[in-house]
Amino acid sequence: MALIAPSLLSADFGNLARDVRMIDQSAAAWHHIDIMDGVFVPNLSFGLPVVKAIAKEVTKPLDVHLMIVDPDRYIHAFRDAGATHLTVHWEACTHLHRTIQAIKAAGMRPGIALNPHTPVASLEDILGDVDLVCLMSVNPGFGGQSFIENTLLKIVKLRQMAGSSLQIEIDGGVTLTNAPVLLKAGADVLVAGNTVFGSADPAGTIATLSAL
Ligand code: DX5
Ligand code: ZN
């Protein structure tokens, strides 16, 4: 069974409550929530009040992916808004070890996201401190982009480095076609935005992906 985290970035923001309830009642494992600041990535998404509103509607974990500079400033605010998992970018954290400890101390599960060009070897001395790594399989900032094939190699390398206890999440360009390959390479959690919300039957697509 694959863990599926539908990305709300592709939801209908005019009907956000409807869409998050659909995800909550589907076979999805987590809600994936993309926060963009227009600095770390060339796009803006939404902020804390929206996360708070989502949290009110759902019971499944909120997997918050911070694509922002200086995430330390907002750790407590996201915890208070309802985040259960807080993923920060390796590239955005000068003192990553400190950031990870602060997320844990705030009672959330920390994750580290790596941009496509950042080698998995960069995680060597921090892997023992997290049990979730998000490999970006597109350049972060936008939904609906194409999967970067080199990610497959990164999954295999990271799995070799980390052993079986690490959860490897893949974010960007996940489709019904490449999902089985990603899982076979060693991924556990698949984020899917366009594939879920662009389909005629989003809940059915989540069920199909999670049965892989
Ligand atoms: C990209 C975001 C992703 C995005 C995935 O910056 O981190 O979570 O929403 O969207 P798809 O699945 O459409 O590539
Ligand atoms: Zn994301």
Do residues 5 and 28 lie in contact, with contact meaning Cβ atoms separated by under 8 Å?
Answer: yes
Q: Which two tokens stand for residue 202?
A: 């989003």
Q: Which two tokens stand for residue 134?
A: 């998000």
Domains of the chain: 3-210 (3.20.20.70)
For the CA of 36, the nearest atom of ligand 1:
6
Full 3-state SS string of the chain:
CCEEEEEHHHCCHHHHHHHHHHHHHCCCCCEEEEEEECCCCCCECCCHHHHHHHHHHCCCCEEEEEECCCHHHHHHHHHHHCCCEEEEEHHHCCCHHHHHHHHHHCCCEEEEEECCCCCHHHHCCCHHHCCEEEEECCCCCCCCCCCCCCHHHHHHHHHHHHCCCCEEEEECCCCCCCHHHHHHHCCCEEEECHHHHCCCCHHHHHHHHHCC
- Cβ of residue 178 lying under 6 Å from some atom of ligand 1: no
- Cβ of residue 171 lying under 6 Å from some atom of ligand 1: yes
On the question of pLDDT at 207 being above 90, the answer is: yes
Residue 163's pLDDT band (boundaries 50, 70, 90)?
A: very high
| Predicted TM-score (pTM) of this structure | 0.98
Looking at residue 18, its pLDDT comes to 98
On the question of pLDDT at 153 being above 90, the answer is: yes
- Cβ of residue 61 lying under 6 Å from some atom of ligand 1: no
For the CA of 32, the nearest atom of ligand 1:
8
For residue 58, the CA-to-ligand 1 centroid distance in Å is: 20
Looking at residue 53, its pLDDT comes to 98
- Cβ of residue 172 lying under 6 Å from some atom of ligand 1: yes
The arithmetic mean of pLDDT across residues 22-31, rounded, is 98
Q: Which amino acids are annotated catalytic?
A: 34, 171
For residue 108, the CA-to-ligand 1 centroid distance in Å is: 22
Using one digit for the tens of pLDDT, what is the confidence trace for 65-101? 999 999 999 999 999 999 999 999 999 999 999 999 9
For residue 116, with 0-12 CB atoms within 10 Å meaning exposed, 13-18 middle and 19 or more buried, which class applies? middle
Looking at residue 58, its pLDDT comes to 98
For residue 139, the CA-to-ligand 1 centroid distance in Å is: 9
| Amino acid type, 10 | S
Query: Rounded to the nearest 5 degrees, what angle is found at the Cα of 139, between the Cα atoms of 113 and 93?
Result: 35
On the question of pLDDT at 21 being above 90, the answer is: yes
For residue 54, the CA-to-ligand 2 centroid distance in Å is: 16
Looking at residue 48, its pLDDT comes to 98
- Cβ of residue 89 lying under 6 Å from some atom of ligand 1: no
Looking at residue 1, its pLDDT comes to 85
Looking at residue 111, its pLDDT comes to 98
Give the contacts of 157 (CB within 8 A, at least 6 positions apart). 120, 121
The arithmetic mean of pLDDT across residues 46-56, rounded, is 98
Mean pLDDT of the residues in the chain: 98
